[in-house]
Structure 1
């Protein structure tokens, strides 16, 4: 599902216009992004939670040459699915 398909689905489910549904989807994405960047956890009961994680620096290997290289530490985004979401996917 693309972002536009999501907007269309939200608009048809709520009876709102596609423009207002698009604004809602954009606001939701911006709010979740801002919260996760600020290291807050966004928890949607029944759906899941978004949070920030970290990946330690490590040594990798170039598959073409076999040469070792250093991979820098990085921040990552974690999503943990909620119980109801898992049940819906596995039903």
Structure 2
């Protein structure tokens, strides 16, 4: 089989090399995240107090357990300089199911509310 080229195809303009897309920037390790994890909190407590990481982990866990227990018991928890965690009752209400627009009844319940301390709010 013989392939012949015509003048038109022989003089076809050369294709420009496609501009290479800039390589996606590598996800740099986050030096500072917007969220402090429990392990980071434990490390900060250990650095600030001079406790070992194991002792500070026990202290942080104990504090969180006490706070959660108090909230489950319906009590408010005041954290000086930070704010107050409290339990608020929510009223029953009518909602709309997404997608079907069907009206549904949402029962009354409880939620955890947080009120920021005025000293912290003023310093933000």
> Structure 2 length normalisation: TM-score?
0.67
Q: Please identify which structure carries the higher strand content.
A: 1
Counterparts of 1:12-51 in structure 2, within 5 Å, are 12-51=47-86
RMSD: 1.2
Q: d(CA) in 2 for partners of 1:11 and 1:45?
A: 20
CA deviations on 1:1-45 (whole Å, 9 max, x unpaired) are: 111111111111111111111111111111111111222211123
- How many residues are matched? 89
Partner of 2:41: 6
Bigger Cα Rg: 2
**Distance (whole Å) between structure 2 residues aligned to residue 35 and residue 70 of structure 1:** 30
Match of 1:68 among 103, 106, 109: 103
For residues 98 and 77 of structure 2, the distance between their equivalents in structure 1, rounded to whole angstroms, comes to 37
Aligned to 2:3: none
Structure that is richer in helix per residue: 1
Where structure 1 has 5 or more consecutive residues not aligned to the other structure, the ranges are none
The alignment partner of 2:78 has SS state of: strand
Q: Post-superposition shift, 1:84?
A: 1.6
- Runs of 5+ in structure 2 lacking a partner? 1-35
